[in-house]
Structure 1
Amino acid sequence: MSNAAAELPALQVYRASILHFTGDPALHQDAAQWHQDGLLIVADGQVQIAGAYAQLHASLPPDAVVIDYRGKLIVPGFIDTHLHYPQTDIIASPAPGLLPWLQQYTFPAERRFAEPEHAAEVAEFFIGQLLRCGTTSAMVYCTVHPESVEAFFSASERRNLRMVAGKVLMDRNCPEFLRDTAEGGARDTEALIKKWHKRGRQLVAITPRFAPTSTDAQLQLAGELARAYPDTYIQSHVAENTDEVAWVRQLFPTARSYLDVYDRAGLLRPRAMYGHGIWLDDADFRRMNETQSAIAVCPTSNLFLGSGLFDFARAAAAQVPLSLASDIGAGTAFSMLQTMNETFKVARMGGTTLSALRMFYLATLGAARSMQLEDTIGSFAPGAEADFIVLDPQATPLLARRTARTDSLEELLFALALLGDDRSVAATYAAGRMVHARAAASDRPQP
């Protein structure tokens, strides 16, 4: 939806079951703020207040129009902290593991993103899929081509979305047609920072693809950029796959670990997000805690590529900031509900039982905290940006049958997480404006 759309009413009021978090429900019993019959009040793209209908309705002005979503659940928009928009067209491509998958599918697909028209077309489709699945913010990898970043931010800006993205840095161990240089990659990234970082709701990430495809010189220049622009983001991959870990050991023989490669380059700090983290050791987890670097847990891609199972217990013991991510296109679903489904199973295989409340937290406020954006997105705190979604517990016959028999918030959320997908998202709002509505006319809000 374009910013040129009709002006929004001064006050927007939504009635539904309202849920958001003030903390991690694994640590704080009262972290979930749930109003079974609630109101969400929005003005100028920001949350004014969320609370019980019985307490708030009398304070509404006489001419306020209440959009009625009763029977549905409003939650903050989902936040996906690790995915690759240029890999949209290679989702569900078979390969025996990470490194062959990159060579056979990823690198050839990324070649075309030097073409602005192609990059723009894929960016439009990709963002449409995110919104269809209720994802309103994401940390996105583009390609080595600055044109790919321009295309993504242009598509995001038109919808006024809160997005983080960056140009991939790769100056070795990749095809020549995707190779930049240490100096050229840093120069292009700095130009993108100056143009796009904090322009509206857009944010830039310094993005070394992963340690094997960057020389020491490139990583050091990335670290210099991170120091020069401390409010930018850093994103990369770490300890995803045992073959990859062994390769890093060969390429960086003096580093203590894979994570240490980034640490020595100055790439661990707040606003640094590392995908996977399956094969980190205790010293690595401690270092991530010390630097407040975060891990994006990517269950569907880890299962798809056979990379391994994330250790939730060790991460919790080290108090490492965590969030959930789809990791499109090795990941197999844009939907954060489907991502929760696989997250629960991965955790169970490792001996940890995650509550549905905690999974919803990790996909909303937990992700925002990992990104140092907890005052901006991820909750309904007064002043937060009004990004939210409307979830329909009756979206499918099976979901409707199961949720009719739930007797707690936890059971309701668990059913949505295990049985839900894009069909469960009745509507998606960004900065107070509807940017997606499920196709059926009966799902449109009724004043």
Structure 2
Amino acid sequence: MSETNLITISRQEERPFDYAALRQKAIEIVQKLSGKIWTDYNAHDPGITILEQIVFALTEVGYKSSFDIEDYLISPDGKINYENQGMYSASRIKSLCTVTQDDYSLFFERKIVYKKEDGSYKNPEKVIFNIDDYNSWYKVIICVAEPKNDLIKNAVVESFWSLWKKWRCMGDLVCELEINWEGSFSPKVDDKNAMNWEHLPEGDYHKWNNLSPIIELFPAIYREGNNPQLLMDYLYPIEDGMRKFLRILENFPNIYSIDENVSVDLDSLDCKQYNSRPFNQMLAMYGVRFPKLGLVSEYRSICCKKQYLRELPELLCHRVGSSWRRHVELMLGILHDNEDPLKIYYTDCLFGIEGAGRVRVVFFADLEKLEKNVRDEIEKFVSSEIPAHLLPIFFWKTLDEEEGFAKLYSEWMKGKPENYKVSPEMELWFKRGLTASNGDWL
């Protein structure tokens, strides 16, 4: 039995701002509102004339709101400042996300820099990350296209450890670092067919806020007859609403801007809504949703959202150590000023193999003001942001104890991360001063 091919005729797409459709809809509304009071809906009726001119003006507003998004973001010079709009090129984002072995290799090949004897600067030819079979830590080989040189070696090693300390994923460790000199490897070949990630779309600039007065659309008898001011007063609230909408279109790049120097004065928009809703939409594009922890005011929440969008490329990979901490701080409303109700530190792999697989998160807060249910909520949130293969252990201490720990923490962070054991002073501080909130000891 042969199958029957059916042709489906779809309904024509509705055009809500089409003049004819909008006019018909407006007359239907007038009929419904007026009932038997108004029965003449022909073109010669003054009420229909007024309605038609308003509809005509609305079609212009509808036309101006139907362009591509690029046209609303573009400035008079024909450029879109993508970074001020919270949008970044794929190449910038791609170069910062270090998760896999290949990611690490490509990242360090681009970021490690050493100075040659002739004064020029160069990157290594290749960086290889291998996994040690015994403990799953990384063995790193850095290939340098130079004769063996102690100055270059020191520069490469220092550059590697500095970058690794900042960009390593939480829980990732390096147990061995080796440098291969000229002649012991095959130099890399540049890929000439590599995709150009820098292309970003542009738009066409338009002047949106140029709506003509609606009364100019009327025949001369309406404009020059007896007391045209009455008609102008009647049209004013309608026309004013249209102008406010077009002023929003004119200021569209500023509304969706994360530049602190940009200020928008739109009396048609509530200040809090203006600051909050656009940022929430921008964050939603990246799958980011701030938790409602009740810790901070709306103003500080807005500041954190704006700061998060500024630092977005660095924060996209939450597993990365220093970026993970910054990500969590902003999500909790921490801006590193005197108004912060909370301080946060983390230390992973504190005691070598014994600490592998654990992350110790230390909070300093006003424990009398920070209720237990809020602390539980914070722990729950932070747990969801820690990689699944790592076990979080939480500690809570009072704010007056933070200064001493901060000094020990700074010394630990400045040390070379090939030695993951903390200083004896920090180890003693942990044993004497901390009790885990989840009952787990060191």
TM bracket, shorter-chain basis: under 0.3
Higher relative contact order (CA 8 A, sep 6+): 1
Compute the TM-score of the two structures, normalised by the length of structure 2: 0.21
- Structure with a larger share of its residues in strand: 1
Compute the TM-score of the two structures, normalised by the length of structure 1: 0.21
> Which structure has the bigger radius of gyration?
2
